[in-house]
Amino acid sequence: MRIAVEQLTKRFGTVWANNRLTIEFAAGQIHGVLGENGAGKSTLMKVLSGYLRPDEGRILFDGKPCQLRGPGDALAAGVGMVHQEPLDIPAFTVLENLLCAAPPGVFRSWRAAQRALEELADRLGFAVNPVARLDQLTIGQRQQVEIMRLLLCGAQVLILDEPTTGITAAQTRALFAALRQIAAEGRTVLFVSHKLEEVAELCHTVTVLRNGEVVPPGQLVMPQPQEYLLTLMFGDAGTAPPIYRPLPSSDSPPVWELRQVTVRSGTLHLLDLNHRFAAGRIIGLAGLDGSGQQVLLRLLAGRLTPDRGQVLVNGRDLSGASAIAFRQAGIEYLPADRLRDGLIGALSLTDHFALLQRTGVIVDRRTAEELARQAIAEYQIKATPLTPIAALSGGNQQRAMLALVPPTARGILAEQPTRGLDVASARAIWNRLQARRDAGCCIVFASPDLDEIMEYSDEVIVCFAGRIGPPIPRALLSAGRLAELIGGVGFEALVEAV
């Protein structure tokens, strides 16, 4: 099915997320949509899949205009979207998830559904266990299940939003093969990404979005030279090659030292960890979701007690101490979900600084407000000292969270420091983190974005299936090798070499 948009416009307040977009996606092809975070790709996809209604313009299916009142309408019209975290029901089995609220008449019985599922999986090259619970599967597997569900429910247009974040190299290959098969069968695939190499490998056409608009000359037939696409995406800024910094040696004790630590969390069991995290480093934890990075971060923050072994902070044994003791020793934890775990939405920046005060019965509002003002100036936070945090944009919230880290912090643990941020905010956050690193702090962060790991880490630790690898100086690593390592290829050799 052909799908097209004409003069599509969507505004959020004063921001034009989509500005008069006119694109046509032909049937039987894989169309790449390139652009940085904030370029408007997600909004376009949300409109096409029925989650948002456009302010102006129309959507056309096979030349006929269509009104979509919700995602149900979209699916009925034949458009299915696979989100980065698939919208499935984790507590259900694959089969239950397939049958739940399926369009009437599609599956005559449970048995028929299972047969159809297995047949499709065969055709696409996916391995599937109909009675497996979804919360026991990896993100890549859940993605495969979701794709099959949408196809079985009649999707003629498949939209994938950044599908290769958080899946192994092997799963990516399987995904691409399946997508080629799906396109060959006459369906339309929209592949949204910011990764040039993948778009180059997979897509028949590419459309670049920037600032909510289609970058002229519009839709291009692949192949296209990489530098040309980069210019379209970024203007002339491009990406500067990472600078190699020689790592400073230090005599001070490492910020963290793990001695034969064994820790358990859920189904993950990390054994015999012996690591030292020196001051003045940025260490990136790379790995698939649920491979152990989160467990390691929480262990270093004191939120997990090791079953065996010792955790030393600045030379002091803090094994089994509370998270508050870790905090007092200078360790700060920045969670991924800012509003849920990081900051208190209804309170202002002044209130947050007031909460950090440790002495005095009465709240010292004057000092707190002064500190807030300083933070706003220094971190360029778009807010007043009294604005509730919930009213700030994601980028400003992240800046606020960083501003609340005391200057005496020795270690910063960040779960996904730039999640959901636009390019400018992400760069600003990393500038601050690098400044902290230069001042002697040790920063350990996890990110599903391998580009981010490659660009900012001094050392990379690969996590795979609950095993933590040795630190690798970034200069010795390439993006391709990292992608293979997180999928387990060569991981054993890496661990044994130490």
Write out the residues near other proteins by the rule CB under 8 A. 51, 70-73, 75-76, 87-92, 96, 99-103, 323-324, 327-328, 333, 335, 340-347, 351-352, 354-357, 360-363, 404
- 241 exposure class (CB count in 10 Å sphere: 0-12, 13-18, 19+): exposed
In angstroms, what is the minimal distance from the CB of 311 to other proteins? 17
Dihedral sign of CA atoms 315, 321, 326, 328 in order: negative
Q: Which residue has the tokens 């807030």?
A: 372
In angstroms, what is the minimal distance from the CB of 228 to other proteins? 36
In angstroms, what is the minimal distance from the CB of 72 to other proteins? 2
What is the number of other CB atoms lying within 10 angstroms of the CB of residue 364?
14
Radius of gyration of the chain (CA): 24
Closer CB to other proteins, 129 or 328, in the complex: 328
First to last CA, the chain: 54
State the SS3 of 81-93. EECCCCCCCCCCE
Closer CB to other proteins, 247 or 339, in the complex: 339
In angstroms, what is the minimal distance from the CB of 267 to other proteins? 12
Q: What are phi and psi of 215, to 5 degrees?
A: -80, 125
Closer CB to other proteins, 15 or 87, in the complex: 87
In angstroms, what is the minimal distance from the CB of 100 to other proteins? 4
Closer CB to other proteins, 342 or 466, in the complex: 342
Q: Which of 174, 169, 118, 170 is nearest to 148 (CA)?
A: 118
Residues 6+ apart with CB under 8 A from 78: 1, 61, 154, 155, 156, 157
Strand partners, 31: 190, 205
Closer CB to other proteins, 112 or 475, in the complex: 112
Closer CB to other proteins, 207 or 294, in the complex: 294
Quick one: residue 154, left, alpha or beta (phi over 0 = left, psi -120 to 50 = alpha)? left
Closer CB to other proteins, 263 or 273, in the complex: 263
In angstroms, what is the minimal distance from the CB of 344 to other proteins? 4
Which amino acid, one-letter code, is at 388?
Answer: P
In angstroms, what is the minimal distance from the CB of 406 to other proteins? 10
Residues 6+ apart with CB under 8 A from 135: 90, 91
Q: Look at strands 282-286 and 459-464 and give their pairing.
A: parallel
State yes or no: cis peptide before 54, omega within 30 of 0.
no
In angstroms, what is the minimal distance from the CB of 447 to other proteins? 20
Closer CB to other proteins, 96 or 422, in the complex: 96
